[in-house]
Every structure is written in structure tokens, then in C-alpha cells.
Chains A and B, each alone.
Chain A
Amino acid sequence: METTINSLNKMYSLRNLTIKSFHDGLVSKKFSALEITQAFFKHIKESDKRIGAYLSLNEDGALKAAERVDIAVAQDEELPILAGVPLAIKDNILIKSLPATAGSKSLENYIASYSAGVIQKLKSEKAIFLGKTNLDEFAMGSSTENSGFHITHNPHDPLRVPGGSSGGSAAAVAAHMAVAALGSDTGGSIRQPAGFCGVVGLKTTYGAVSRNGLIALASSLDQIGPITKTVEDAAMLFKAIAGHDPYDATCTETNYGEELWNPKLEQVRSLTIGLPDEYFPKGLDEEVQKAIGKVILDLESLKINFKKISLPHTNFALPCYYIILPAEVSANLARFDGIRYSRIEDKKLNTKTLRDIYMRHRGEGFGTETKRRIILGTFVLSSGYYDAYYQKAQQVRSLIKNDFEKAFNEVDVILTPVSPTSAFKIGERVSDPYSMYLSDIFTIPANLVGLPAVSIPIKETLPLSSGGGRLPIGFQLIGRHFREADILAIGQFYEKIKASSS
């Protein structure tokens, strides 16, 4: 790759930018928001041809917003921590007047009529939106290969997937094409791509963050959350998007405070971490096993207590999820009828009735995985099968919840791998849907139970800047409901000891 010294310097500075360091640099006038935003667009235009993280860019809007931030800086206004921070937004989250395709051909021409609750909160913080990122269609998938538009490559190895479904957001942050990003997580769609790309991903507590303006996949599971370079950044971005929204009835008032990003060591030492047997099965990838072992040693050096626990129904979480999720999908995606949003171009026939439009728009506009899940969901909800599948899965969901309730009587946080393997090769799992589903086996339970969980890159597995063929591996911390502070605190101290040891 040919790079001038000038753009190398820019790259270097983009590489080191976190929300925190951006804010410090901005308020101390080391750089302007406009300068950094322009540098990001330059870098995106050079690099995204190889990665494919973005579906659309918001260059005009972003540059104007950056100018407004610079005026505020010049007038010495007090700026929120996210002011001017260039963010990437998953393309199933609406930003008014910008495309929102959810990775589906069926929404190729749809322009959002309003901004999502999280976007309104970020706008009031003066954050900047660089563009919309790629995803598996309607967030269904674990590799971003199900996007209706193009695939996304893992920045650490272009032959491998970035994970999914928030693969575009994770790849954008990992390839320094955004300071941070938003994703959505229904069964691991923030944490698994974060793990594959070597960045931090936080799935928030069910009810902590508004889903108003998130194109719904499965309403009892979906949550929006941050994808960032550091745990501290995840805490700050989470704080900015959390809280009640009258347009999402499931979103509750929260009182998250400074403990999110300014944790105390004594408090972290008072926590007990549980290691569930079921998440370390025989045959777990050796590299993953070894890497997690290192994390445990590191955390023990902080004098945190560990305890072995059991979550006996873990193996039932995957079939349980793949009944409940398609059921909700079949209902939620009914709204995409070719009547109210956009309609795909009809090349074949002159449609006469509403029914013709529905059949054709959905048949042509949806990809294979989307159709597979809609039909599966229609099946498990249909008369004669409801009790055997849907009702049964809801009961099993209760058993899984009970497992976690019991575990949280003994421990405060649970540590597990994020995924059974590191990033797999593009094309490797496309032909066998169930093997693709298995990549979410460790992330799904937190969604079924509504718990917060964070994926943090394991330092020893991060690729060196000179390459070397290593692939990132993440570890997962699961916390009690609304106790993001616990998992983020442990994560921040993990990062501190790793920073001091390197």
C-alpha cells in the first residue's frame, strides 16, 4: 500500500484516538473536529474498499456537525464528552434523512423519517455520525455474509469474516475508520464481532437503552450498545445512550453514574467472578482455552476471587433461542410489505393486488436466511406446534433465567469465552446454517435473560502492528441486571494491568 508520510501521520493519530483522547485533544485545541472528521473520510475512502465496513457515508452532515462543534470550542463552551466524536452507526438504527437498509435489498431505497432515541441522545451530545455500517440482513447472522449488499472483511485477515451481525461497526472501529460505533445485539451481534475484530463490545441490560428507531428483529432480545477501542470508551458511550425514552415502553429510567468509567479497585476486589463449567466444554478451541486462562491469571493478580459455578441448562439455550427468535422475527418483519416503506422494483409482472405486492416484494427483497427464519417462526407459532415448540422454549427460557439467578446468589460476575473459536474463513459456514448458529452459543444466554455482558479483547491475542498471523480472541463478562458498572470496572482494571505490562 502506498501511503505518503503525511497520511501515515494522520493514520497514526486516528489509530490512537479514543473517545477520551479525542475529547482531551479537542478541548485543548490540539486539533479541530473538522480536521479529524476530514481525516476519517480520507482514511475511509482509502481503506474501506478492502474492508467493506460501510454501506453509506454521511459526509456533508458530518462535516457540518464538526464545524458547529469547532464554533462551540472557539467560544469556550463547555462540551459534553462525546462532542465532535466521529461515530459509525449500524444500518438498522435510524438517522433522520439518511438511508436505513438494515442490510436488506428490500429497504435499499428507504430513507429514515425520524432519528432513533439513541441518535437523538447522541445528537444532543454533539456527536458526529460518519456513516451507516454493514450488517447481516435485519441483523440475522454471525458473519455479515448475509448482507444484501456486500460482505465485510476482517481487518486482521481479509480472508476471514468480521463476525456479525454488527460486523461493519466492529470492522470500522478495528480498522480505525471511526473512533467508536453503535451496534445491536440480539444473540451476540455486538460481542461476537467485537471479539473477532479485537475491539470492545457491550450488550446492555434489557431495558437500559431505548430501541425506539431500531429496526426490530426480536423485541424480547434486542438491545443497542457500544463498540469501542477501550472499556472506558464503552462506559462513556453507554452512559450517553442509556435512559428512559417515552417512545420505548420497555426502556426504564436508570441512574448510571461515574462508577461506570471511574471504578475503584477496592470495589472491584470485593467482587467474586464465577467460572461456569458448561462454558468450558471438552473440545473448546485450544487457543481460546489458553487465552482465557491468561485472563484469569491476570485478574487473580488483582486479588479478585474466582469460584466455579454451574449453569446446568446452558446447552438448551441455543435451541430455545432459535425458536423464540424466529417467532418474533416472523411477526416483526411482517411490516415490510412493500406498501409502507420502500418497494423493490418490479421487473416481472404488473402486480394487481395487495397480495401480489406482498409476495413479490418479500420474495425478491429478502435473502435466504431471512426467509428461513420467517418460515421457521411461522411454523413454531402455527396451530398444532405452538405448545411443542414456542411454549416449550419459553419455559426453557425460564429455566435458563433461574440458572443465572442462582449463580448470582454466589457470584457477582460470570466470566466465559465470547465464541468457541476465533474468526472463521469467509464462506466456511454459509452452507450449514446450524454451524453458523453455533458461533453464538456463549453469547445467547445473556440475551435470553436480559443481562448486560461485555466482550473484551485478550491482550496476548491481539495482532501486532507488523502482522504475524494472530487473530483476536475475546473474553466475556456477564453481570447482574443493570450492573454494567461491575463488568466494566473489571474490564477497565484488566486493561490497566495489560497497559502497564506492555
Chain B
Amino acid sequence: MPSPINKKILKYLADLARLELSPREEERLLKDLQGILGHFEELQRLDTTEVAPMTGGTSLKNVFREDEERKNKYAGAGVEAFPEKEGGFLKTPPVFGNDDQ
């Protein structure tokens, strides 16, 4: 069976994930991913018709809290970690640049 992943798909995925890859990295990752995906074929042997997916780490039910006013003790925290900032705001380059897609 041909691997579901090839160089073109890898480049597309890296772009979606916003990862710049060198040609050498591309080559290595492609080989690794093809190998790893091969191991996943095992799962197709299992019949999972009618099996409900487990979607989280627990089967506990959600509990809602009262919707009341709360003071956010972390308000403003994190601003100092911004690489670029101005007056307590996060500073970024234009979201839509000429060379953006």
C-alpha cells in the first residue's frame, strides 16, 4: 500500500502548521512519518462500528459554576513577555501584508 504521505503533502502540512523546514529536515521527516504511519495500520484491524469515541481524559460530567462577577487576578499578566509592545498592547506587524496569502 502506498504511504498516505508524500513530499507534496508534507510541504502542505508544514505550511498549515506554520513550520519552516530545511530540505534536509523535509527528507528526514518524510521518512520518519511514512514509517510511523505504517504502524498505525494495525488499528484498522479492529472493528469499531458502534463504538462511541472517547473524547477526553475523563468520563466525569461537566459541572457548571454560578455565573457571577469575578475579579481576574491575572489581568495584565503576560504583557511583559510580549517581544514587542506599546503602551500595554501587543505590537505586531500588519496582519495582511503584500506577500501574505
| A372-B43 contact, Cβ under 8 Å, with A341-B81, A359-B18 | no
For the complex, give the distance between the alpha carbons of A207 and B56 in Å.
11
CB closest chain-A residue, reference B15: A359
In the assembled complex, which residues on chain A have CB atoms less than 8 Å from the CB atom of B17? 330, 362, 374-375, 378
Is A396 an interface residue when CB atoms closer than 8 A count as contact?
yes
B32 touches A372 (CB 8 A): yes
Q: Which residue of B lies closest to A358 (CB)?
A: B18
Instruction: Write out the residue numbers on chain A whose beta carbons fall within 8 Å of the beta carbon of B44.
Output: 388, 392
A497: Cβ under 8 A from any B Cβ: no
A354-B36 in contact given A375-B10, A395-B51 (Cβ < 8 Å): no
CB distance from A429 to the nearest CB of B (A): 13
Residues of A with C-beta under 8 A to B19: 359, 362-363, 366, 371, 374-375
Inter-chain contact B78/A113, CB cutoff 8 Å = yes
Name the distance in Å between B28's Cβ and chain A's nearest Cβ.
Answer: 7
Complex interface residues of chain A between 316 and 337 (CB less than 8 A to chain B): 316, 318-320, 322-323, 330, 334, 337
Q: Which residue of B lies closest to A366 (CB)?
A: B19
Query: Which residues of A are found within 8 Å of B51, using beta-carbon distances?
Result: 395, 398-399
Size band of the A side of the interface?
35 or more
Is A368 interfacial (CB-CB < 8 Å)?
A: yes
From DSSP, what is the main secondary structure of chain A's interface residues? helix
B93 at the interface (CB under 8 A from A): yes
Contact B55 A394 (CB under 8 A): yes
Contacting B at CB under 8 A, from A338-388, are 338-343, 351-360, 362-364, 366, 368, 371-372, 374-376, 378-379, 382, 385, 388
Smallest beta-carbon distance A177→chain B, Å: 29
Which of A334, A355, A447, A450 is close to B97, meaning CB atoms less than 8 Å apart? Answer: A355
Question: Does A389 reach chain B (CB closer than 8 Å)?
Answer: yes
CB-defined contacts of B82 to chain A, threshold 8 Å: 339-340
Cβ B81 vs Cβ A362 within 8 A: no
Q: Nearest A residue to B39 by beta-carbon distance?
A: A319
Rounded to whole Å, the gap between the CB of A173 and the closest CB of chain B is: 26
CB of A252 within 8 Å of the partner chain? yes
In the bound complex, how far is the Cα of B74 from the Cα of A337, in angstroms?
21
Residues of A within 8 A of B35 (CB): 433-434
A228-B87 Cα distance, complex, nearest whole Å = 45
* Interface: A79 (CB within 8 A): no
A340 touches B13 (CB 8 A): no
Residues of B within 8 A of A341 (CB): 81, 83
Residues of B within 8 Å of A114, CB to CB, are 74, 77
Chain B residues near A372 (CB, 8 Å)?
Answer: 29, 32-33
Q: Report B1-40 CB contacts with A as 1/0, cut-off 8 Å.
A: 0001100011001101111110001001100110111011
CB neighbours (8 Å) of B58 from chain A are: 206-207, 250, 450, 481
Residues of B within 8 A of A323 (CB): 40, 43
Which residues of the other chain, A, contact B92 by a CB distance below 8 angstroms? 339, 354, 357
Q: Is B69 an interface residue (CB 8 A)?
A: no
Q: Is B57 an interface residue (CB 8 A)?
A: yes
Which residues in B have their C-beta under 8 angstroms from that of A261? none
Check: B88 CB closer than 8 A to any chain A CB.
no
Q: For chain B, residues 51 to 92, give those with C-beta under 8 angstroms from any C-beta of chain A.
A: 51-60, 65, 74, 77-78, 80-83, 90, 92
Q: Which 10 residue pairs across A and B have the least CB separation, nearest first? A: A363-B20, A394-B53, A353-B97, A395-B48, A343-B83, A358-B18, A206-B57, A220-B57, A113-B77, A397-B54
